[in-house]
Amino acid sequence: MKTLKKSLGLLVILILTAALLSGCSQTPTSSSETGKKASRIEEIKKAGKLVLATGNYRPFEYHDEKTNTVIGYDIDVAEAIAKKIGVPLEIREMQFTSLIPSVQNGQADLVIAAMYITDARKEVVDFADPYMDTGMVLVVRSENNDIKLTSDLNGKVVGVKTGATSEKVANELKEKGAAITIKSYKETVDYLLDLENGRLDAAINDLLNQLEYNKTHPGVKVVGEPFTKSSLGIAVKKGDTELLTVINSVLAEMKQNGEANKLFKKWVTSPN
Residue 101 · residue 163 · CB < 8 Å: no
Q: Which residues contact 244 (CB under 8 A, 6 or more apart)?
A: 126, 128, 236
Amino acid letter, residue 78 = A
Whether 40-133+232-268 and 136-223 share one fold: the answer is yes
Domain 136-223 CATH superfamily: Periplasmic binding protein-like II (3.40.190.10)
How far is 22 from 172, CA to CA, in rounded Å?
70
Question: How far apart (Å, rounded) are the C-alpha atoms in residues 95 and 233?
Answer: 17
Supply the pTM of this predicted model.
Answer: 0.80
Task: Give CA–CA dist 85/242, Å, rounded.
Answer: 11
pLDDT at 121: 97
Residue 50 pLDDT:
99
Query: Whole-number mean pLDDT of the chain?
Result: 88
More confident site: 47 or 28: 47
Percent of the chain's residues with pLDDT above 90? 84
- Using one digit for the tens of pLDDT, what is the confidence trace for 245-258? 999 999 999 999 99
- The average pLDDT across 34-54 equals 89
What secondary structure does DSSP assign to 53-91, as a single string?
EE--BTTTBEEETTTTEEESHHHHHHHHHHHHHTS-EEE
Q: What value, to the nearest 5°, has the Cα angle with vertex 13 and ends 8 and 14?
A: 95
Note the pLDDT tens digit of each residue in 177-200.
999 999 999 999 999 999 999 999
Q: Is the pLDDT of residue 240 over 80?
A: yes
> What percent of the chain is modeled with pLDDT above 70?
85
Taking only the tens place, the pLDDT of each residue in 194-222 is 999 999 999 999 999 999 999 999 999 99
**Reported confidence tier of residue 1, pLDDT bands at 50, 70, 90:** very low
pLDDT over 50 (residue 15): no
**101 exposed, middle or buried (CB, 10 Å; 0-12, 13-18, 19+)?**
middle
pLDDT number for residue 38:
78
Question: What architecture is domain 40-133+232-268?
Answer: 3-Layer(aba) Sandwich (3.40)
Q: Are strands 202-206 and 157-161 parallel, antiparallel or unpaired?
A: parallel
Domain range annotation of the chain: 40-133+232-268, 136-223
Instruction: Write the secondary structure of 187-236 as one string of H (helix), E (strand) and C (coil).
Output: CHHHHHHHHHCCCCCEEEEEHHHHHHHHCCCCCEEEECCCCCCEEECCEE
Mean per-residue pLDDT for 128-150? 96
- pLDDT confidence of residue 36: 66
pLDDT tens digit sequence for 66-95: 999 999 999 999 999 999 999 999 999 999
Q: What is the pLDDT of residue 20?
A: 38
